[in-house]
Amino acid sequence: MIRTIVRRLLVGFATLFCVYAFTFLMVIVIPGNPFASADRNMPPEVVRALEARYDMDDNGAYFVQFLAGATHLDFGPSFQYKDWTCSQIIAQSLPVSLTLGLLAMLIAVLVGVPVGVYSAVWRDGWFDLSALGFVLIGISLPTFVTGTMLLTVFAVHLKTVPIGGWGTVMHLPLPALALSLPFMAYIARLTRVGMLDALGSDFVRTAVAKGLPKRVVIFKHVFKVAFLPVLSYLGPAAAQAMTGSFVVEKVFSVPGIGQHFVDSALNLDRGLIMSTVLVYAAIVIVFNIAVDTLYSFVDPRIQGSAR
């Protein structure tokens, strides 16, 4: 077990390095830089001096230097936010996104799994059909629409929560709910499919035949099997919810890391692009390892990678 985790962590570091190299390549082929914009009209000496300050004149040196800094989480200065280092920006925005994402995943699992179980057990009943309708909406309505609707109903009309921002507990529920909807819908459906598969298998028939109560069969036998696909979906989904929430963050003006994914690329903010990509990739890797480890606890037949 520990050997597997260590091996996967080593592979993870190698992957991180490849991600870094790839991003670096993308960043240096992009034409232009933030200092050469037409409206600022700086003399060429100043531009050169600025480029030297941000190590833009020597790509090879920058590659090594950034990597050296990144090993102790020092990602250098940001072009866009002059008074901030990239590490400070991430340290400030990442916890916000992590909180939001974790809460959203919690809601998605706590609602999605029971809904899936219930609609599988009472297949094609009224609950199953209305759950299907809800799932279809959750999957195909963009989060900026659902988010705004939630905002209009709960913040503008009912005035139960503040309209946007971050800081108090009351700021949490709406963005977390909006973020969780697509995941919730997918998890509900995944659980339902898994449950239906398991309900039709031989060991369930045996369990029912030997007279076990339905509740015990469903929760002790069927659910255990049905939960596995949900578990392997949780890894990438959690990483996505924690870092890919830029749309929800924009709707609810949450100061998370999502905005930096968009802004850093638009502003050609080299240091911030690379540091946000590295953080994202690291989170994806860690979550995949965590889920695979959990997986082998739940289902001991699987050793190491779940895929």
Partner 1 sequence: MIDTRNSLAWRRFRRNRAACLGLVVMVGLLLMSALAFPFSSRWSNVQDLQGAVRAAPTLRVVTPYDAYERALPDSLLGAGMHRVAGLAGYDDLGRSLLFRLCLGWLVSLGVGLGAAVMAVVIGVSWGATAAMAGGRVDAAMMRIVDILYGLPYVLFVILLKVVLEPPLRTVLHGQGHLANVIIVFVAIGAVSWLTMARVIRGQVLSLRSRPFVEAAYASGVGRMRVMWRHLLPNLVGPIAVYATLVIPQAILQESFLSFLGIGVVPPTPSLGLLATDGVQAVNSFVGFWWLIAFPCGILVLTLLALNFIGDGLRDALDPRTDAVAIF
Chain residues binding partner 1 by CB under 8 A are 15, 18-19, 22-23, 26-27, 29-31, 136-137, 139-142, 144-145, 148-149, 151-152, 156-157, 186, 189-190, 193, 229, 243-244, 246-247, 250, 261-262, 264-266, 268, 273, 276-277, 280-281, 284-285
Residue 55 beta carbon to partner 1: minimum distance, rounded to whole angstroms: 20
Cβ of residue 138: shortest distance to partner 1, in angstroms? 11
Tell me how far, at minimum, the Cβ of 266 lies from partner 1, in Å: 6
What six digits make up the tokens of 132?
A: 């299907």
Tell me whether residue 225 or residue 284 sits nearer to partner 1 (CB atom): 284
Question: Residue 207 or residue 245: which is nearer to partner 1 going by CB?
Answer: 245
Shortest distance, position 140 Cβ to partner 1, whole Å = 4
Q: Which is nearer to partner 1, 85 or 264 (CB)?
A: 264
What is the closest distance, in whole angstroms, from the C-beta atom of residue 200 to partner 1 in the complex? 15
Smaller CB separation from partner 1, 91 or 149: 149
